[in-house]
């Protein structure tokens, strides 16, 4: 996988190169300190992946993408600011890493690139067009959540409860409860199974947020979540819950 690092801070480029040395399938083929250098380098190298800073001297990272002729390589934004997350995902960035970069988060981002490439290859082999299947999420991942004009960049581990509301799902984290246009079933398929368990037909619980457990009616269980609310596990799911947590 040929990669280019675009950042106007030399130390930031050197630090990222050091982290990428632990990923032998990534070859850093060049560096650029601004958009002008980057456009020339991209045309010469034709990279598979850009590690792109957003705030740079002169044109910013978004300006660079607008000026770059298609087809575009994969993009992982690397920035010190979380405020650009919404726009980053609007331009189809595969991930958004905050400085200082965590090695595990970097590894997860690179796995997204590999999975996207593998999905595209499978589609081409089958003679079909389309996007790669959505990748499973990990506990250390962060997800972009949008409800109307409000948006958040949320660590997966901080989501305590998801509730189905028709074809929408209400996502509970911190003091927020945004409603997103995704079914609970589709989210359950992506969330880490070791962390989340279906409580009933309409609720999915992060097990690490459970504070107290009490017997309820007909073999069901009622649990209290840290930060609220109380959730009832159906009889069948209560049995799975006991099996999951028993020694």
E strand segments, the chain: 2-6, 27-32, 49-52, 74-79, 95-98, 142-147, 150-155, 159-165, 168-173, 179-180, 196-200, 203-206, 210-215, 221-225, 230-233
pTM: 0.57
| Confidence class for position 146, pLDDT limits 50, 70, 90 | confident
Q: What is the pLDDT of residue 72?
A: 85
pLDDT, tens only, 154-175:
899 999 999 999 889 999 999 9
**Architecture per CATH, 2-125:** 3-Layer(aba) Sandwich (3.40)
Q: Where are the domains of the chain?
A: 2-125, 142-245
pLDDT, tens only, 212-222:
998 877 778 99
Q: Domain 142-245 belongs to what topology?
A: OB fold (Dihydrolipoamide Acetyltransferase, E2P) (2.40.50)
């Amino acid at each position: 996988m040929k990669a280019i690092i675009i950042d106007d801070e030399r130390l930031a480029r050197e630090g990222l190169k050091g982290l990428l040395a632990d990923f032998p399938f990534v070859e850093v083929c060049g560096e650029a300190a601004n958009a002008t250098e980057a456009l020339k380098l991209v045309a010469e190298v034709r990279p598979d992946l850009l590690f792109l800073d957003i705030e740079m001297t002169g044109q910013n990272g978004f300006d660079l993408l607008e000026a770059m002729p298609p087809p575009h390589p994969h993009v992982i934004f690397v920035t010190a600011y979380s405020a650009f997350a919404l726009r980053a995902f609007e331009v189809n960035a595969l991930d958004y890493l905050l400085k200082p970069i965590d090695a595990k988060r970097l590894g997860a981002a690179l796995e997204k690139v590999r999975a996207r490439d593998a999905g595209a290859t499978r589609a081409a082999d089958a003679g079909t067009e389309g996007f790669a299947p959505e990748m499973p999420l990990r506990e250390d991942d962060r997800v972009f959540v949008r409800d109307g004009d409000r948006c958040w960049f949320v660590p997966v581990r901080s989501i305590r409860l998801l509730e189905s509301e028709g074809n929408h799902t209400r996502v509970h984290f911190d003091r927020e409860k945004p409603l997103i246009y995704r079914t609970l079933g589709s989210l359950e398929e992506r969330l880490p199974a070791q962390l989340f368990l279906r409580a009933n037909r309409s609720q999915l619980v992060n097990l690490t947020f459970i504070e107290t457990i009490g017997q309820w009616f007909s073999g069901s269980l009622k649990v209290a979540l840290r930060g609220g609310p109380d959730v009832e596990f159906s009889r069948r799911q209560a049995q799975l819950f006991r099996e999951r947590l028993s020694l």
